[in-house]
Amino acid sequence: MALIGANVIFGLNYIIAKGIMPHYLDPRSIILLRVTIAVIFFWLFHRAFVKEKVEKRDLIKLSVCGLFGIAINQIFFFEGLNLSTPINSSIIVTSIPILVLIFSYLLLKVNITLYKIIGIACGTTGALVIILLQGSISFKSDTFTGNLFIIINSISYALYMVLLKPLLLKYKAITVIKWAFSFGLIFIIPFCIKPAISADWQSIPVNIWFSISFVVIGTTILTYLLNIYSLKYVNPIVTVSYIYLQPFIATVVALLLGKDTLTIQEVISAILIFSGVYFISIRKKKDIRC
């Protein structure tokens, strides 16, 4: 349920956050805003309800998580999205579960089961069909840098999800996310402070502030909390496999708003996506191993 909730928010974010960047705020300005507010929230919540301390040696591991999961992940995603196309970005992001599968096997020695391979294949196919219905992938030279940035973002986020797992078995989720975001903030300040200072905050209309609030509270605080909570109970492969729900959710919202019509391809895609999530989520004592 935590994973479904996180990906519903991400799916809504494609529509709600569409008008913020770059018309009103530079990508790095919104990154600095969302991470700063998240850090303040996590520290206050942790101080009020948890008050758990971490060992000094684990601070290094948490700083690495902050580097890959917060700084590199967010900066390269937003900058890449600016230089690439939404279709290209969406397609590249579907590689994250495959990357997590590889990193989990190499770093955590997680078994690669036949169920997981079938699930990733179904989910990837279903997501790609929905994404490609919206347009075609672009191979123009001016999108190369953006595509490369999104690839770096995907690798970084996949590695972050795998590195978090051992820490979550040792500490509470809020403790881990507090330190990861704190280190992430330190890493992004040198790259984001200048555009944030020069941004014209006063000219932003009220309706855009609502969108910004959703991005900060919904797609930053809530989604990171929900994803990191899920990691305590399922492996990273299952957690990131729910990313396939995002294009499906975005399509459902578009249908409800009358901006799209239901096609047989979208129905087939939905079946593939839910079948993929089901196979990846299967947990049996005797998995079929490859």
Determine the pLDDT at residue 141: 64
Q: What is the pLDDT of residues 190-242, one digit of tens each?
A: 999 999 999 999 999 998 999 999 989 998 899 989 988 888 888 888 888 88
CB 150 within 8 A of CB 84: yes
Confidence of residue 290 (pLDDT cuts 50, 70, 90): very low
Task: Among 2-11, 33-42, 216-225, 275-284, name the most confident range.
Answer: 33-42
How far apart, in whole angstroms, are the C-alpha atoms of residue 242 and residue 21?
Answer: 26
User: Lowest-confidence range among 48-57, 98-107, 255-264?
Assistant: 255-264
3-state secondary structure the chain: CHHHHHHHHHHHHHHHHHHCCCCCCCHHHHHHHHHHHHHHHHHHHHHHHCCCCCCHHHHHHHHHHHHHHHHHHHHHHHHHHHHCCHHHHHHHHCCHHHHHHHHHHHHHCCCCEHHHHHHHHHHHHHHHHHHHHCCCCCCCHHHHHHHHHHHHHHHHHHHHHHHHHHHHCCCCHHHHHHHHHHHHHHHHHHHHHHHHHHCCHHHCCHHHHHHHHHHHHHHHHHHHHHHHHHHCCCCHHHHHHHHHHHHHHHHHHHHHCCCCCCCHHHHHHHHHHHHHHHHHHCCCCCCCEC
Separation between Cα atoms, residue 58 and residue 61, nearest integer Å: 5
Domain map (residue ranges) of the chain: 2-281
Q: Which residue has the higher pLDDT, 194 or 270?
A: 194
- Rounded percentage of the chain residues whose pLDDT exceeds 70: 91
Residue 137's Cβ-count burial label (10 Å; 0-12, 13-18, 19+) is middle
CB of 17 closer than 8 Å to CB of 223: no
